């Protein structure tokens, strides 16, 4: 699945009414939406999704934030999807995100940073499978 990535519009961006603007930017940047849903993460589910960060100091805050309200999960397709999408969203810390990137436009802080993008083909597959069943991601 090297032409696919996984994204989540995080609770801050959903609460601030940015779902439409963010999806518009994603599709206008050449990504095709393969799967899309709004849902919520329980603290338990958020903890499972972010298990790789378990030992990090920000883990508890991250889990609390990601389970604080609805999110939008999506699988996206484009040539060079992982790298192109990470360029489109900008740096994790929005104060370091390039002008015009999604985090530069919509994120408030390193925690409430509006959007997630997978960092590798392997994680894109794991993360997409976490939210979508096989028949939802054809």
Binding residues vs ligand CMP (CB under 6 A)? 53, 58, 62, 92, 110-111, 113, 116
How far is Cα of residue 106 from the mean position of the Cα atoms in its chain?
A: 13
Of 34 and 89, the one with the shorter C-beta distance to ligand CMP is: 89
Per-residue exposure over 104-129, b if at least 16 CB sit within 10 Å of its own CB, e if not: bbbbeebebbbbbbbeeeeebbebbe
Is position 53 annotated as part of the catalytic site? no
- Write down the least CB distance from residue 53 to ligand CMP, Å: 6
Which alpha helices (DSSP H) does the chain contain, by range? 11-15, 19-28, 43-49, 59-66, 81-89, 102-106, 121-131
Give the separation between CA 23 and CA 125, rounded to whole angstroms: 20
137 annotated to bind ligand:
no
Of 114 and 138, the one with the shorter C-beta distance to ligand CMP is: 114
CB within 8 Å of 55: residues ≥ 6 apart: none
- Write down the least CB distance from residue 37 to ligand CMP, Å: 18
- Write down the least CB distance from residue 135 to ligand CMP, Å: 27
- Which position among 4, 18, 25, 116 bears the catalytic label? 116
Of 2 and 60, the one with the shorter C-beta distance to ligand CMP is: 60
Binding site for ATP, by residue number, is 10, 58, 86, 92, 103, 113
Catalytic positions are: 116
């Amino acid at each position: 699945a090297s032409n696919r990535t996984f994204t989540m519009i995080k609770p801050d961006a959903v609460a601030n009414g940015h779902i439409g603007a963010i999806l518009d930017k994603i599709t206008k940047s050449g990504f095709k939406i393969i799967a899309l849903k709004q849902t919520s993460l329980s603290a338990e589910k958020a903890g499972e999704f972010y298990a790789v960060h378990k030992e990090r100091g920000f883990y508890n805050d991250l889990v609390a934030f990601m389970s604080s309200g609805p999110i939008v999960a999506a699988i996206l397709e484009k040539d060079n999807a992982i790298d192109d999408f990470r360029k489109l969203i900008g740096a994790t810390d929005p104060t370091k995100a390039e002008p015009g990137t999604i985090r530069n436009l919509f994120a408030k802080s390193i925690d409430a940073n509006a959007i997630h993008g997978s960092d590798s083909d392997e994680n894109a597959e794991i993360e997409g499978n976490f939210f979508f069943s096989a028949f939802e991601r054809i």
